[in-house]
Amino acid sequence: MQLFEDIAGVVGAAQLMRGEDAAPWARDWTGAYHGRPLAVVRPGSTEEVSRVLALAHATSTPVVPASGRTGLTGATHAEGALVLSLDRMSRIRAIKPGPRVAVVEAGVVLSTLHEAAESHGLLFPLTFGAKGSAMIGGALSTNAGGSNVLRYGSTRDLCLGLEVVLADGRVLDLMSELHKDNAGYALRHLFIGAEGTLGVITAAALKLVPRPRAYATAMVAVPSVGAALDLLARLREATGGAVEAFEYMPRMFIEGHVAKMRGAREPFDRPYEHNIMVEVGATAPRDADPLPDGTIPVVTRLEDTLAALMEQGRILDATVARSEGQRREMWARRESAAEITHDRHPFVDTDVALPLDRVEEFLALARRRLHEIDPGAEDFIVAHLGDGNVHYSAYPTRDDPDHSEAIRSAVDAAAVSLGGSFSAEHGIGLMKLPSMRVHKDPVALEVMRGIKAALDPKGILNPGKVVPTS
């Protein structure tokens, strides 16, 4: 009780919630992880985070940082821990159009940053389906990816500097806005992707890029995954590397989208097994400004390229968006993935990455491994194909945690056997701990444990996540 009184003295009694008031933080978005937090504290500043962590450290109280809680791996599960919610720390401290930098707090919602950047003719290019509720702190803590990694990179690539509060309450100021800084260890990279196990990210300096003046967006049907990758190479060459999104949606995904989403339509007049959504962004006026006849050069270039490939038999069909409404419809199809995937139970969700030339092989291998374990199971696939990130989900025939874990382990092992990774963009949390234990290099695990012990010697920060016990 003394701890709670001390914390209330820092943040105010209204920002310390217990019992039923803490219930919204007791479960994650998927519904798979339920906990009983000691309490939820909502600091409003870095100073308050520092003071709360100092109190937790002094009393060896476990702390689970939380942002938008849109994660899929149980990283914010908080059984008997203090949940440190950063949602009140939602200030955009600065948008700097000249150097193209945004300085934001951890509780800024991703779509809010999008709007702020766009008001200056700029873009923060990180985007994914949960952008309306996911927060910057969570995106950094999981090194989120999304649909534009192909052109702009993941969250790690978009971060210049961080402000981090360490386990004992000390504030680590890494808020550099430099693109080059070779002064010793790149400490910020320790905290990006660490899921709050090494420190609590409270603010960041992020890169902005010019907002495309025009987009060319299309749905393309291809004969195979291999043909899709050939298409990607040809489009990148034709557009000077301006392909922003290259999303794979096989027939099973299209059928799920049409069945689940009200008003959803087929992308083509006839069904195809392999479907790609591609988007090209144009920033130069010569590519984006309408010509006297009303055509837009980047759209015409995409149309011409696709027409030539169709004549060569390299693609089967294509539909190019003629309006912003049609473009949004194409994006809505892709961004419905989480809702569609989680519509059936039981299900097993995986998030793997493959070398591009092994994706097709992986899909066949994963299905074979799935049916060896559960002949009646069905799979469901969607992929950020341009960067090799495959979301391979399975619907087993029985609801048994051990059975589901066997399927997940088999899929992860299939990816690793082909030179891939068992975690591409969702993080580790609790879900991926078994795969970390089996597949991560033992020396790497020992180094991670050493870093954890050095920065969080009492082990109070998001305990039991990311790094399996020895």
Q: Name the pairing type of β-strands 39-41 and 16-17.
A: antiparallel
CATH code at 214-337: 3.30.70.2190
Query: pLDDT band for position 385 (50/70/90)?
Result: very high
Contact by Cβ (8 Å): 143, 425: yes
Whether 241 has a pLDDT exceeding 80, the answer reads yes
What token pair was written down for 161?
A: 């500097």
- What is the pLDDT, as a whole number, of residue 71? 86
Handedness of CA 440, 444, 447, 452 (dihedral sign): negative
Q: Give 249-258 pLDDT, tens digit per residue.
A: 999 999 999 9
Whether 29 has a pLDDT exceeding 80, the answer reads no
Q: What is the mean pLDDT of residues 7-16?
A: 97
Q: What is the mean pLDDT of residues 213-225?
A: 97
- What is the pLDDT, as a whole number, of residue 280? 98
Domain positions in the chain are 2-85, 92-210, 214-337, 344-443
Q: Name the pairing type of β-strands 209-210 and 122-123.
A: antiparallel
Q: Per CATH, the architecture of 92-210 is what?
A: 2-Layer Sandwich (3.30)
- What is the pLDDT, as a whole number, of residue 365? 98
Q: Give 66-122 pLDDT, tens digit per residue.
A: 998 888 888 899 999 999 999 999 999 999 999 999 999 999 999 999 999 999 999
- What is the pLDDT, as a whole number, of residue 308? 97
Q: pTM for the full model? A: 0.93
**In 10 A of CB 185, how many CB atoms?**
7
CA R_g for the chain: 23
DSSP code, position 241: S
- What is the pLDDT, as a whole number, of residue 391? 96
- What is the pLDDT, as a whole number, of residue 1? 83
Q: What proportion of the chain, given as a percentage, has pLDDT over 90?
A: 90
Alpha carbon distance 246, 334 (integer Å): 11
Q: Give 256-273 pLDDT, tens digit per residue.
A: 999 999 899 999 999 999
- What is the pLDDT, as a whole number, of residue 69? 85
Q: Give 126-163 pLDDT, tens digit per residue.
A: 999 889 999 999 999 999 999 999 999 999 999 999 99
Contact by Cβ (8 Å): 129, 142: no
Query: pLDDT band for position 58 (50/70/90)?
Result: very high
Q: What does pLDDT average to over the chain? A: 95
Whether 31 has a pLDDT exceeding 80, the answer reads no
- What is the pLDDT, as a whole number, of residue 338? 85
Query: pLDDT band for position 342 (50/70/90)?
Result: confident
Q: Give 300-330 pLDDT, tens digit per residue.
A: 999 999 999 999 999 999 999 999 999 999 9
Q: What proportion of the chain, given as a percentage, has pLDDT over 70?
A: 100
CATH code at 2-85: 3.30.43.10
The residues facing 41 across adjacent strands are: 16, 84
Alpha carbon distance 455, 190 (integer Å): 10
**In 10 A of CB 299, how many CB atoms?**
22
- Residues in Cβ contact with 4 at an 8 Å cutoff, skipping those fewer than 6 apart: 16, 18, 39
- Fold equal for 2-85 and 214-337: no
Alpha carbon distance 242, 265 (integer Å): 28
Alpha carbon distance 313, 323 (integer Å): 27
Contact by Cβ (8 Å): 126, 155: yes
DSSP assignment of 168-201: TS-EEEE----S---SS--THHHHTTSTTSS-EE
Highest CATH level, class, for 344-443: alpha beta
